[in-house]
Amino acid sequence: MRLFVGLQPSQDFKEALTQVQDRLRASGVTGRYLDPSNLHMTLAFIGEWPENVSELLPEVEKPFPITLSHIGIFEEADVLWAGMNPSVELNNLAKRIRHILADEGIPFDRKSFNPHITLMRKPSMPRSIVLSDIGIPAATMLVDEVFLYRSEHCKSGMVYSVIGSGKKE
């Protein structure tokens, strides 16, 4: 299984993200837009791993807010994304998850954590566009649960499915 640990946007947050996608389209930005059902924030990318490890995920002890703030591009990865305001709690949660995975011997991508949600891949932009001019809707969500996702390649592209969470019953 191809796995990653992430956050699932609330409905309001997802609607704000799709508004950003719509504004990018209206500005002439083309590429492979992620389907709204696939929008997520990766906290730790595990990759191929033979078993569901959701029992290792921590509970979010004290829910905290994250706020949408800007758009950016990872040119080396050919990805356009929505970024968040700085959040000590979010960074600490990502560190905590990565420490748990390391302690359990589960390999993960050790690139530094950059809180973002991928909006599209392979963006092509008109020369005249300035990303900072694209309006970002006011959107905040409460982080109260971490999820384990499975990533599967289908005819229409990648599909991300939640297969577990850190919430304990």
- Average pLDDT of the segment spanning 130-146: 94
What b/e sequence results for 116-154 when a residue is b if at least 16 CB atoms lie within 10 Å of its CB, and e otherwise? bbbbbbebebeeeeeeeebebeebebebeebbbbbbeee
The H-assigned helical ranges of the chain are: 11-26, 88-103
What's this model's pTM, rounded to 2 decimal places? 0.93
Q: Left if phi > 0, otherwise alpha if psi is -120 to 50, otherwise beta: which for 105?
A: left
User: Dmax over Cα atoms in the chain, in whole Å?
Assistant: 52
* pLDDT tens profile 2-24: 999 999 999 999 999 999 999 99
Phi, psi of 162 (to 5 degrees): -75, 130
**How far is Cα 10 from Cα 27, in angstroms, rounded to an integer?**
26
pLDDT in tens, 63-84: 999 999 999 999 888 999 999 9
